[in-house]
Structure 1
Amino acid sequence: MTAAGPLSGIRVIEIASLAPAPFACMVLADLGADVIRVERCGSDGGGALAVPSGVLDRGQRSVAVNLKDPAGVEAVLRLVETADVLVEGFRPGVAERLGVGPAECAERNPGVVYGRMTGFGQDGPLAHSAGHDINYIALAGALEPIGRPGERPIPPLNLLGDFAGGGFLLVIGILAALQERQSSGKGQVVDAAMVDGAALLTSFVHALHASGLWMEGRGTNVLDGGAAFYDTYECADGRYVAVGCVEPQFYAVLLERLGLSENDLPQQYDLDAAAELKAALGAVFQTRSRDDWADHFNGSDACVSPVLSPWEAHRNAHNASRGTFVEIDGVPQPAPAPRFSRTQPPTPQMAPRVGEHTDVLLAEVGYSPEQITALHDRGAVD
């Protein structure tokens, strides 16, 4: 598979898993890497949270392998010999038991970067425990501040742990290890834990707290919904707008556009009077629909935006003009990002069928047609 992105020429072997590691590999594929997804024989690519449209494995190639068969393990190690990166999302120790751990891969290819995606990391008391995004961000201190005063914390989908604190952290680690390899010639293990990544995302909150600018009560701070000028408001049609006019000059534009006078309202940064200010702003927002307000504020510095669903966002004029979303195989989805001036990646191809490229990939690493047939016959590959 050829690509024009900045990672063109980089080969990634992904041992198929769910959510964060596939997201990381999607990003690498979007940027031009040749990502080979190793899936289980007999798998339909699904699972408890299967994504039928295959967004996370777009632009990749698929080989179906039985990792419980030594011949299947050998096939994966042969692929590793040609790769720059291997990514796995097993619990600690599983890859080693299967025979595709860091030592086995480094023996075949000393330069391979071995990316490990877990929730709790490769060591520590919880390393072998089960968990999901909500558990990791809870432990990292990223969940507790999210919610309204006096109410329970609200999980922000699975964005903070799985994708921002997990998948993106793994991508950063892999790219850093590839850069270091240019001078050392050696690969290394990248231990990307979602707890670590989610904790890293709270750096700004820690800075505010250390400066006395963050109170520990949920929903009582400037950026967590405690301030009237940084919150969402319901409109006449039951939909919402987001208001984020932190700076006084932008807040002044908001009031002017709403027909309100600052002299008749509590002071902008008086959080003790935020409820009164919210009531005043909310009463005005209730007089028109979300889209009417979006048109009214469009192009202004009031920092007001319509709260769009994921299924509306691709129709927004700004997003459409930038190509922020693309349609692949009939499914609207986010386009590759960021943008590059010289090596902009093409629109990704649709996700492959499980095992679609098994024979081609085995041939690429030196298996003869007779050997490939033998692997199929014994059930080592599909």
Structure 2
Amino acid sequence: MALAGTRVVEFAGLAPGPFAGLILADNGASVIRIDRTVSPHGKPVNNDILSRGKRSISVNTKTQSGRNIVLRLLEQADVLIDPYRPGVLEKMGFGPDVFLGERGLNKRLIYARIVGFPRGGPHQHMAGHDINYLALSGVLSMLPGKGGKPGFPLNLLADFAGGGMMCANGILMALLDRVRTGHGQVVDADMVSGARYVSSFPLIHKAFPTERIFTSPPGKNILDGGAPFYDVYECAEGGHMSLGCLEPQFFAVFITTFNRALPKSFKEEWVPGPHEQFDLEKWPRLREYIRKGFLSQTREFWSDLFHGTDACAVAVLHPDEASQFDRDFSLVPSPTPILSRFKSRPRETPTQSIVLPMGEHTEEILTELGYDGWQISELAIEETINTLHGRAKL
């Protein structure tokens, strides 16, 4: 696999950091997640579902012996993923200078830091989530919603696209640069800037206005539901169809096929044709015509009708349906893109193995680091580590 032999240490965090680690693990990197320890009477709980292909070591970094374990891990690592607010790892004794400074312990380390608000900015020490980062990026204000307020697309744009994926992209660039220079470096990612970058197309159009592309209020532009030929429509008996026939030749295929398929009981005084697509005065009437038309038949009817055509009309699938429509799909998404020289698409992961128990590989990893059975037992007794079975096996 493309990243085979690459050693990654991921400090346990929320979605963006684990997603960056997942991308690396899915492509062959050896990813070790550092989890916290719990008291002997506590129950280690981890809800991170982005754990595929990773291993977990549970370490108490408040003890010197715990910090020594982490330092030994990082001395041998290629990549560190820091998901915390600015300064947290520095206070723990694992700041960039420890590894990349003049007397650094690992000058080849790629030190990847991912935060929500930009470092050095006025919000850098504040708590936040995807919706907050999206708000400061300027992108949220452009997303159509209901009642005049912006809507938001789950936590996809800032957390995962602008956060985890951008961080992984920076790591890959730094690894390539290390091949050339032999040196590691710090990769800084923040979700506000990342959300802006993945939204370059609408933001640039907004800054330099062109024909009806993000120049009108949200919900009034061609690509945000303002155009009747780029929207989602309800069908008979529930279900929806997506329509995206922007280009005139595609709209012509859609409207011609659509008109012919309407039942005889569907009667409208006005029947739109291909040449009326960009007649803005007729858009309200065109939208109502398409809306009523889709309601005349089921989603399955329209999906079958437009299948194999250039009408740009396909069914809106639920997650379980989407996992069945392509033989390469599954309930758990597989990594993409596919590289022709490497196998990088694991088959469906059983549900029970999605979540990685905290400390599942503690003893295994410590053994790899050179700790013997007695040392591991002592670390467990002094509560520097947790093992999956509660105590180390000698």
Q: Taking structure 1 as the reference length, what is the TM-score of the superposition? A: 0.90
Give the equivalent residue in structure 1 for 2:242: 242
CA contact (8 A) 1:265 1:277 kept: no
| Pairing of 1:1-382 with structure 2 (within 5 A) | 5-42=1-38, 44-46=44-46, 50-51=47-48, 54=49, 56-106=50-100, 107-148=104-145, 151-209=148-206, 210-213=208-211, 214-259=214-259, 267-316=276-325, 319-320=326-327, 323-325=328-330, 332-347=331-346, 350-351=353-354, 352-382=356-386
Give 1:291 deviation, angstroms. 2.0
Give 1:238 deviation, angstroms. 2.2
CA contact (8 A) 1:77 1:105 kept: no
- Partners of 2:81 and 2:273 lie apart in 1 by 58
- Partners of 2:64 and 2:80 lie apart in 1 by 19
- Partners of 2:182 and 2:222 lie apart in 1 by 48
CA contact (8 A) 1:170 1:190 kept: yes
Aligned residues: percent identity? 43
Q: 1:346 to 1:278 in 2, by over 3 A?
A: closer
Give 1:80 deviation, angstroms. 0.8
SS of 1:137's equivalent in the other structure is helix
What stretches of structure 2 of length at least 5 have no aligned partner?
Answer: 261-269, 387-394
Number of aligned pairs? Answer: 362
- Which amino acid in structure 2 is aligned with residue 129 of structure 1? M
Give 1:171 deviation, angstroms. 0.6
- Partners of 1:250 and 1:379 lie apart in 2 by 65
Moved more, 265-274 or 103-112: 265-274
- Which amino acid in structure 2 is aligned with residue 296 of structure 1? L
- Partners of 1:341 and 1:19 lie apart in 2 by 29
- Whichever of the two has the greater Rg, that structure is 2
Q: 1:343 to 1:264 in 2, by over 3 A?
A: closer
Instruction: Note the alpha carbon deviations across 1:338-372, whole angstroms, 9 max, x for none.
Output: 11111122517634321111111111112222221
CA contact (8 A) 2:255 2:274 kept: no
CA contact (8 A) 1:35 1:60 kept: yes
Give 1:150 deviation, angstroms. 5.2
What stretches of structure 1 of length at least 5 have no aligned partner?
Answer: 326-331
Q: 1:324 to 1:123 in 2, by over 3 A?
A: farther
Give 1:266 deviation, angstroms. 7.9
CA contact (8 A) 2:336 2:345 kept: no
Moved more, 31-40 or 338-347: 338-347
SS of 1:108's equivalent in the other structure is coil
- Partners of 2:170 and 2:284 lie apart in 1 by 43
- Partners of 2:185 and 2:281 lie apart in 1 by 52
CA contact (8 A) 1:149 1:220 kept: no
- Which amino acid in structure 2 is aligned with residue 268 of structure 1? Q
SS of 1:144's equivalent in the other structure is helix
- Partners of 1:238 and 1:178 lie apart in 2 by 49
CA contact (8 A) 1:266 1:273 kept: no
Q: Taking structure 2 as the reference length, what is the TM-score of the superposition? A: 0.87
Aligned CA RMSD, in angstroms, stands at 1.9
- Partners of 1:88 and 1:45 lie apart in 2 by 20
CA contact (8 A) 1:149 1:217 kept: no
CA contact (8 A) 2:45 2:358 kept: yes
Give 1:273 deviation, angstroms. 3.2
